[in-house]
Structure 1
Amino acid sequence: MKNIRIYSCSVLLLCAGLLGACSDDPETEQAYVQTDSPTFTANKRGVAADGETLRIGVRSNTYWIIRQQAEDDWFTLSPKAGSGSREVEAAIAANTGQERSATLVFETEQGRMQQITLRQEGHNSTVRFLNDDFGTGTSAQSVAQFDGWNRNGIGSLRCQYWGNDVNVDAGQPSAGYDGASGGNGIVFAADSANFILGGIALKGDINFNLSFGCTTSQAIFNPGELKVFFSKDLVNWTPIAYERSSSAGWERVNIPFYLPEGVDQLYVRFLGRKADAYRLDDVTLAEGDGRGETITFVEDIVEYEEITVFDETFDWCVGPNSTLPGNDGKNMTTVSNRNGWEGNLVYMHNGFPKVGTSSGLGYLTSPAMTAVGEKRVDVTVTFNVGIMGSDLSDIRLIVLNSGSVEGSESKTFTIESDNYWETRSCVINGATKETQIRFSAIQAKGNRFYIDNVKATFTDVKEKL
């Protein structure tokens, strides 16, 4: 009996312990309220650095209210209280006086608090629409590949970057002028290299100042070898004059100007005329101070004519097959200098050529773009292309002699389906009368394709009568 009583007692004690453990309440999560930052800043117009309404991000797991340490009337908050995580919108009036600030306290029902400062710049501060110092630590990376842009400003949200023969590089950091950021700069790595940035929202303003740092590796700085252009549509480019000393070292350039009413966005193009001779940094578009002349855009005083460089339909091709796909057969004739077109392993079908064989890399080269004349232009190329059978779906367009395509000497096109025509296009930047284009397979085996209707055009500018 003794043993039984001890066992029974042990079981009861164990059960009591388990019940006691199961009846404990889980630990309650501690209440909290936090904000994205201890300080939130608006410019003198009452908007954030990106040009949008200032928003305060709140993270919390409970109910909270906002208390102000003073009765400030230059901003309103919505909402002034909430539960959980959300954004608080601060509507801030324009500031015509000195810099001002307010202290806000976010407080929970449990007494947890988060204090922040709401700050607004004064009337004498400068509003920037775009500023970019191009980051740091990059070595000769093309603009097309670079993803470290450091853009900010109230018009910068949709700003984009383009370039041909232009690299981002930290090899010779900017110095010697106010605001020189050091770090990366833009290097014009070939003759007639272009760097374009834009889509800068102008927010209804008309008076601006464009500034940038620049230097040269030559004995003197020549503004004719680093040119600046403005555009309102990314198509037409108006040359902009600027003044700078002949010093070879880093120096900041300022271009004050007005724009006509109704211009919503601006693009800026820098053209380097001599390979590796010029560098650029710290591009800034800011509000103006009342100086400068009104820009007359070139499209307002000139008219445009589309010039055809070549429009090849390949009607002279005659072969046993008239539709895709086709069996090569034994009677195909190799293309040899027909209408200026030459190639390797190129055969004629009825009305179009086939490029390559099952085990040979083929290519087709255009005639030179003699219609361009004594200048450099941007040439638009369109063409139809089809892949034979189930061969590799990629082909390459190569630019020969001068010019580039998307900042490179070649561009790869992927064709979505076999044995069907598809239309592709691209722009050859900086083309001259010597420029040719080559349609080429990428690999020797199983990369056959068809080409047809190759058209190249550019826009010629003439003064309006």
Structure 2
Amino acid sequence: MKTFSTYLYLLLWFVGASAATACSDEPEPRQDFVETGLQELDINKRGLDAEGETPVIDVRSNTYWMIRTQTQAEWLNFSPTAGSGDVEVVVEAAPNNGAERTAVLVFETRQGEMKRFTVRQSGAESRVTFYEGRFGDGASQLSINRFEAWENRGIGSLRCQYWGTDALVDSRSPSTGYDGASGGNNITFGSDDADFMLGGIDLKGDINFRLSFASMTSDAAFDPDALQLFISKDRQNWTQLTYTRSTAAAWERSELPFYLPEGVSQLYVRFHGANARNYRIDDIELAEGDGSGQTITFVEDIVEYETYTIFDETFDWCVGKAGEDNSTLPGSDNGGPTYHNGWSGTRVYQHPGFAKISTSSSRGWLTSPAMTAIGEKRVTVTLSFNVGIMNTDLGRFMIKVHNSGTIDGESEVEYELTSSNKWESMTLYIVGATKETQIEFTGIQDKLNRFFIDNVKATFVDIKEE
């Protein structure tokens, strides 16, 4: 039998529970926050980040915030100085001609939530590196184009690329015996006429540099004529540089200070192996100079160069059916063409002034004449052409390089187009082409891989003949 006190207790409990429930329906006060992800930023003496860009701080918040400096830092500006929500704050630092310096920023909300952030700038004694290359480890005779573990550092290295002809990444003889030797992989040469190239390194408006690299040979003595060094500002014309080292076969570092003329925005470096099968290079670096060295004179600035045409094929000998022109893709076939100018192919069909390659059920290909105009030399060929995909067929095709030369280090490269039944213009480079080089346009798959080709032009740059 329940007593009065029991009923009273239950009543009070119910009232309390109801009140608690009513209170829980009220929204809780929002807690402000401000975050910056990283807690510090290191910039070089020029005020740039590790990738050579103007540094930024990614601020994340759910409310209004402002920035104040906890320490005096007249050398540092940031924009904006306040914001709401997620904002990217740009940091501008004056060049540092003295010792290393540090500033502490405080990001603060109205509720007093704070986030401290440290900006540290290197001093004048530090050296700015534009490019520093490391090649990882564990590779075994891997072609340049197939190697993916490039390790680029430096303020000008963000868009650095690599190319090679008979150049390989290999780890069997790691670098050692000099300051900064990275060991692991290095670059070796797979033939008596091989090239390893890298660039373009963003020079950020500088003109004074120091290029260094390590080299070795398994021959009895080192011969600099077997491993030649070149630089270029356009990857077309190459100026040879003379470097010094001892004749010792072991790993040794070479340094070459130099100035560049005003107006050179990027740099390419090329190591040419002329009978250098037993040579290796590693730890390539381009850094700011110390004021020494001579100004480089590029060969194209003292020698007159000319662009020579190897072939310029318009396919005028392809005759389409009446009433068609090359603005109406895909058009109708007019049977196989009678080939001219050394071109040949299989399952190639005529349109008005251009060619179609492949059928709906069979893959075709079109092969150029040999590049005899090159003569007795090895050059870089610029290849340009117009291409279009028929209907909704596979939007990819392949270019094969026969006999000699590579595109990005490969003899076969696939390309993809963005739309069907429209012309697209393409330009690419064949490195190490000779008079025997031929190119082939071909499909990827046997069915539904039809595409069109027109205006194929191949050129190279060489010293103008008197």
TM range (shorter): 0.7 to 0.9
What is residue 18 of structure 1 aligned with on the other side? 18
| Distance in 2 between residues matched to 1:436 and 1:169, nearest whole Å | 30
| Distance in 1 between residues matched to 2:419 and 2:126, nearest whole Å | 57
Q: Compared with structure 1, are the counterparts of its residues 18 and 220 closer, same or farther at alpha carbon in structure 2 (3 Å cutoff)?
A: farther
| Distance in 2 between residues matched to 1:61 and 1:356, nearest whole Å | 59
TM-score, with length taken from structure 1: 0.78
Q: Compared with structure 1, are the counterparts of its residues 357 and 99 closer, same or farther at alpha carbon in structure 2 (3 Å cutoff)?
A: closer
What is residue 161 of structure 1 aligned with on the other side? 161
| Distance in 1 between residues matched to 2:70 and 2:405, nearest whole Å | 62
Q: Residue 464 of structure 2 aligns to a residue in which SS?
A: strand
CA deviation digits over 1:190-209, x for unaligned, max 9?
64334221141333x32211
Alpha-carbon offset, residue 417 of structure 1: 6.2
| Distance in 2 between residues matched to 1:88 and 1:360, nearest whole Å | 57
User: Would you say the 8 A contact 1:160–1:198 is kept in 2?
Assistant: yes
Q: RMSD between aligned alpha carbons?
A: 4.3
* One-letter amino acid matched to 2:404: S
Alpha-carbon offset, residue 130 of structure 1: 2.6
Alpha-carbon offset, residue 161 of structure 1: 0.7
* One-letter amino acid matched to 2:202: I
What is residue 299 of structure 2 aligned with on the other side? 298
| Distance in 2 between residues matched to 1:264 and 1:136, nearest whole Å | 32
Alpha-carbon offset, residue 269 of structure 1: 3.0
Alpha-carbon offset, residue 286 of structure 1: 1.4
* More off after superposition, 352-361 vs 377-386: 352-361
Q: Compared with structure 1, are the counterparts of its residues 108 and 316 closer, same or farther at alpha carbon in structure 2 (3 Å cutoff)?
A: closer
Q: Compared with structure 1, are the counterparts of its residues 50 and 451 closer, same or farther at alpha carbon in structure 2 (3 Å cutoff)?
A: closer
What is residue 131 of structure 1 aligned with on the other side? 132
How many residues matched?
A: 457
User: Would you say the 8 A contact 1:196–1:270 is kept in 2?
Assistant: no
User: Would you say the 8 A contact 2:333–2:351 is kept in 1?
Assistant: no
What is residue 331 of structure 2 aligned with on the other side? 325
* One-letter amino acid matched to 1:192: A
* One-letter amino acid matched to 2:23: S
Q: Compared with structure 1, are the counterparts of its residues 90 and 18 closer, same or farther at alpha carbon in structure 2 (3 Å cutoff)?
A: same
Alpha-carbon offset, residue 221 of structure 1: 3.7
User: Would you say the 8 A contact 2:236–2:461 is kept in 1?
Assistant: no
Q: Compared with structure 1, are the counterparts of its residues 137 and 8 closer, same or farther at alpha carbon in structure 2 (3 Å cutoff)?
A: farther
Q: Residue 20 of structure 1 aligns to a residue in which SS?
A: helix
* One-letter amino acid matched to 2:259: Y
| Distance in 1 between residues matched to 2:451 and 2:106, nearest whole Å | 69
TM-score, with length taken from structure 2: 0.78
User: Would you say the 8 A contact 2:261–2:296 is kept in 1?
Assistant: yes
| Distance in 2 between residues matched to 1:319 and 1:111, nearest whole Å | 77
Task: Please list, as runs of the form range in 1=range in 2, the aligned pairs for 1:198-209 lying within 5 A after superposition.
Answer: 198-203=200-205, 205-209=206-210
* One-letter amino acid matched to 1:251: E
Alpha-carbon offset, residue 439 of structure 1: 2.4
User: Would you say the 8 A contact 2:145–2:410 is kept in 1?
Assistant: no
| Distance in 1 between residues matched to 2:392 and 2:29, nearest whole Å | 64
User: Would you say the 8 A contact 1:310–1:455 is kept in 2?
Assistant: yes
Task: Please list, as runs of the form range in 1=range in 2, the aligned pairs for 1:335-346 lying within 5 A after superposition.
Answer: 339-346=341-348
Alpha-carbon offset, residue 370 of structure 1: 1.2
Unaligned runs of 5+ in 2: 325-329
CA deviation digits over 1:105-147, x for unaligned, max 9?
6677877766665444333221222333245566666655655
What is residue 374 of structure 1 aligned with on the other side? 376
What is residue 254 of structure 2 aligned with on the other side? 253
CA deviation digits over 1:27-82, x for unaligned, max 9?
6666666555455434334444344455555556675764646x566556677787
Q: Does 1:428 align with 2:430?
A: yes
Q: Compared with structure 1, are the counterparts of its residues 351 and 51 closer, same or farther at alpha carbon in structure 2 (3 Å cutoff)?
A: closer
* More off after superposition, 25-34 vs 309-318: 25-34
| Distance in 1 between residues matched to 2:70 and 2:8, nearest whole Å | 66
| Distance in 1 between residues matched to 2:34 and 2:337, nearest whole Å | 79
| Distance in 2 between residues matched to 1:348 and 1:76, nearest whole Å | 65
| Distance in 1 between residues matched to 2:393 and 2:67, nearest whole Å | 66
Q: Compared with structure 1, are the counterparts of its residues 248 and 35 closer, same or farther at alpha carbon in structure 2 (3 Å cutoff)?
A: farther
Q: Compared with structure 1, are the counterparts of its residues 390 and 64 closer, same or farther at alpha carbon in structure 2 (3 Å cutoff)?
A: closer
Percent identity, aligned pairs only, is 52
User: Would you say the 8 A contact 2:385–2:426 is kept in 1?
Assistant: yes
* One-letter amino acid matched to 2:242: A
* One-letter amino acid matched to 2:180: G
What is residue 406 of structure 1 aligned with on the other side? 408
* One-letter amino acid matched to 2:301: D
Alignment partner of 1:444 out of 443, 446, 456: 446
| Distance in 1 between residues matched to 2:59 and 2:424, nearest whole Å | 51
What is residue 236 of structure 1 aligned with on the other side? 237
Task: Please list, as runs of the form range in 1=range in 2, the aligned pairs for 1:380-399 lying within 5 A after superposition.
Answer: 380-385=382-387, 391-399=393-401
CA deviation digits over 1:249-282, x for unaligned, max 9?
3322211001123333333333344686444433
Alpha-carbon offset, residue 94 of structure 1: 4.0
| Distance in 2 between residues matched to 1:383 and 1:78, nearest whole Å | 46
Q: Residue 151 of structure 1 aligns to a residue in which SS?
A: strand
CA deviation digits over 1:436-460, x for unaligned, max 9?
1222233334445554443322122
Q: Residue 291 of structure 1 aligns to a residue in which SS?
A: coil
Q: Residue 224 of structure 1 aligns to a residue in which SS?
A: coil
Task: Please list, as runs of the form range in 1=range in 2, the aligned pairs for 1:24-423 lying within 5 A after superposition.
Answer: 35-53=36-54, 55=56, 66=68, 68=70, 75=76, 91-101=92-102, 118-135=119-136, 144=145, 148-157=149-158, 159-165=159-165, 166=167, 172-188=173-189, 191-203=193-205, 205-273=206-274, 277-315=278-316, 323=324, 325-327=331-333, 339-346=341-348, 355-356=357-358, 359-385=361-387, 391-414=393-416, 423=425
